[in-house]
Amino acid sequence: MSHALKQVAVQLPPGEEQNDWVAVHVVDFFNRINLIYGTISDYCTEQSCPVMSGGPRYEYRWQDEHKYRKPTALSAPQYMNLLMDWIEVQINNEDIFPTNVGTPFPRNFLPVVKKILSRLFRVFVHVYIHHFDRITQMGSEAHVNTCYKHFYYFVKEFNLIDTKELEPLKEMTAQMCH
């Protein structure tokens, strides 16, 4: 898919409400990225991935409103499980992701979405840096790359992830998306 085509694919269609468009994509990305992680999860263990990281320069710590009030170092599988559960709670919360037509989105909708997407990006970082050999062995490379490109163009189009968060995959993204 060409660069121009991809950009059109993520643009807000005429007459569509931006928050609706973003909400649908967030749920879709969550489902797709969760599946991608699921394909390599047997290889992402406490032993192979004792730290949730994206190479030696990036370590991700978990923090939430409940058990982990301070950023806490966890193994990648622990981090992933907490992340997927946390996102599921957010997207199933009618106060954040209203499903009834005409119910307004809350004021904190975009901040929550940005947090979800920047954390989902970390899944790509971990998978690409630590498990890409597995993705290639399974012949899923094209699928994962397509999903990543769609995700990347979407977050750029609506400015949903800070550029510094995107740093770990900068070189790969430059080759793949420009």
As annotated, the binding site for Zn(2+) includes 44, 49, 126, 131
Which residues belong to the annotated binding site?
A: 44, 49, 126, 131
d(CA 56, CA 109): 33
Instruction: Give me the sign of the Cα torsion angle 45, 51, 55, 60.
Output: positive
Count of beta carbons in the 10 Å neighbourhood of residue 38: 11
Q: How many CA atoms lie within 13 A of 89 on its CB side?
A: 9
At 178, which amino acid appears?
Answer: H
Angle between helices 3-10 and 141-157 (to 10 degrees): 60
Long-range contacts of 135-142 (CB under 8 A, 24+ apart): 135/36, 135/39, 135/40, 138/39, 140/36, 140/39
Would you list the DSSP string of 6-26? HHHHHSPPTT--HHHHHHHHH
